[in-house]
Amino acid sequence: MKHDPAIILKPGRTLRLKDFDPAYTGAYKDKKDAKEKLAGDIEKMAALQDKFYAQNRSALLILFQAMDAAGKDSTIKHVMSGVNPQGCQVFSFKQPSALELNHDFLWRTTQCLPQRGMIGIFNRSYYEDVLVTRVHPELLLKQNLPGITEGKDVPGSFWENRFSQINNFEKMVSENGTRVLKFFLHVSRHEQKKRFLERIVNPEKNWKITLADVEERAFWGRYEKAYEHALTKTSTAAAPWYIIPADNKWFMRTAVGDIIVRTLKELKPAYPALTGEKSAELGRIKRRLARGR
């Protein structure tokens, strides 16, 4: 990265995507070096998650946002490969249903927030409503919002209000025991094209590309501006954004895994302490088992 080797977007800093190199690989010498680091973090994550689930004191919400083909699915698959599925939930938010459109824009994701002891993963999220709808404001008409009957009716204050609502929401869930981790996987337009072409020639990936995906590339510049504005306005102390260079998947996965492990360590998960009452109960259980067959 040109000006700052860190990948966290500090609250108050204006995001300029050109300042972040999508091909950045940090201090890693090569792919092998990074994969070894990720393998170690996957083991650490499994141990930390076991304590996190048993402790049942807080929750972890991980959000992924990105352009198409940035690697959200594969990052979730690889980085979270060692966790116990019993303590982890993944939700992919695609085109909203009629029921979801008849509620406020946070409604469909709020229902999927992780409970204490759980890791929740959002593959796309409520941020779609300040990104895709920013590029295509006509989509807001489906939400039947007061005062908006045409795409041109959307004032700048509308987006500012939504950013404020998101910040308040994330502050609220944070104060109630849910740590929020937000990852923007920063892929270049050139790399996206390369991955789209790979999806065409690989039969196992044919299902992952549509004509609509390619047509959306015409709005690349508008998406970049939407991301810059949204991430700038919503990177807060309670829920900062991490800008993850995504042209090299091996680095992207390693960076994400490292941040998740560090975050779990910060939460200091531990197995529940043995109380006097529980110790006495275990003694009774042991004696009963000793008397039986």
CA distance linking residue 239 with residue 182, whole number of Å: 7
Phi, psi of 121 (to 5 degrees): -120, 125
- Segment 69-126, tens digit of pLDDT: 999 999 999 999 999 999 999 999 999 999 999 999 999 999 999 999 999 999 999 9
- Which three-class secondary structure state does DSSP give residue 244? strand
Find out whether 61 and 123 touch, Cβ atoms under 8 Å: no
Q: Which residues of 180-212 are buried (b: 16+ CB within 10 A; e: fewer)?
A: bbbbbbbbbeebbeebbeebeeeeeeeebbeee
Whole-angstrom distance, CA of residue 8 vs CA of residue 107: 28
Tens-digit pLDDT profile for residues 112-140: 999 999 999 999 999 999 999 999 999 99
**Which residues of the chain fall below pLDDT 70?**
1-6, 293
The pTM of the full predicted model, rounded to 2 decimals, is 0.94
Q: Fold for domain 8-291?
A: Rossmann fold (3.40.50)
Percent of the chain whose predicted confidence (pLDDT) is above 70:
98
Which amino acid does the sequence have at 239?
A
| Predicted local confidence at residue 151, as pLDDT | 84
**pLDDT for residue 292:** 79
Q: Which two tokens stand for residue 115?
A: 């409970």
Strand order in the sheet with 178-186: 8-9, 241-245, 178-186, 59-66, 119-123, 88-92
